Amino acid sequence: MKFFVDTADTKAIAELNDLGMVDGVTTNPSLILKSGRDIHEVTKEICDMVSGPVSAEVIALKADDMIAEGRKLAEIADNIAVKVPLTWDGLKACKVLTDEGKMVNVTLCFSANQALLAAKAGATFISPFIGRLDDLNIDGLDLISDIREIYDNYGFETNILAASIRSANHMSECAKIGADVATAPPGVIKAMANHLLTDKGLDQFVKDAKEAGIKIV
Ligand code: G3P
Q: Is residue 199 part of a domain?
A: no
pLDDT digits 0-9 by tens, 86-100: 999 999 999 999 999
Q: Is residue 216 part of a domain?
A: no
pLDDT digits 0-9 by tens, 165-195: 999 999 999 999 999 999 999 999 999 999 9
So what's the pLDDT on residue 209? 98
Say which CATH number the domain at 183 has: 3.20.20.70
Tell me the HSE value of 57 on the side-chain side, using a 13 A CA sphere: 21
**Ligand 1, residues 34, 164, 188: which to mutate, most atoms within 8 A of Cβ?**
164
How many structural domains are present in the chain?
1
CB 115 within 8 A of CB 142: no
So what's the pLDDT on residue 105? 99
Q: Is residue 213 part of a domain?
A: no
pLDDT digits 0-9 by tens, 125-168: 999 999 999 999 999 999 999 999 999 999 999 999 999 999 99
Q: How many helices (H) and strands (E) does the chain have?
A: 11, 8
Residue 161 backbone dihedrals phi, psi, to 5 degrees: -110, 90
Q: Is residue 204 part of a domain?
A: no
Q: Is 83 a catalytic residue?
A: yes
Q: Is residue 194 part of a domain?
A: no
CB 126 within 8 A of CB 144: no
Q: Is residue 203 part of a domain?
A: no
Q: Is residue 197 part of a domain?
A: no
So what's the pLDDT on residue 192? 98
**3-class DSSP assignment, residue 54:** strand
Instruction: Please pick, among 2, 34, 72, 83, the residue that the annotation labels catalytic.
Output: 83
So what's the pLDDT on residue 43? 98
Ligand 1 center to 165 CA (angstroms) = 7
- 131 Cβ below 6 A of ligand 1: yes
The residue type of 42 is V
Distance in angstroms (rounded) separating the CA atoms of residues 158 and 122: 7
So what's the pLDDT on residue 14? 98
pLDDT digits 0-9 by tens, 188-214: 999 999 999 999 999 999 999 999 999
DSSP state of 8: -
- 164 Cβ below 6 A of ligand 1: yes
Q: What is the percent of the chain where pLDDT is above 70?
A: 100
Model confidence at 216, pLDDT cuts 50, 70, 90, reads very high
Q: Is residue 70 part of a domain?
A: yes
Which residues form the domain of 12? Answer: 2-187
pTM, two decimal places: 0.96
**Residue 164 alpha carbon, nearest atom of ligand 1:** 6
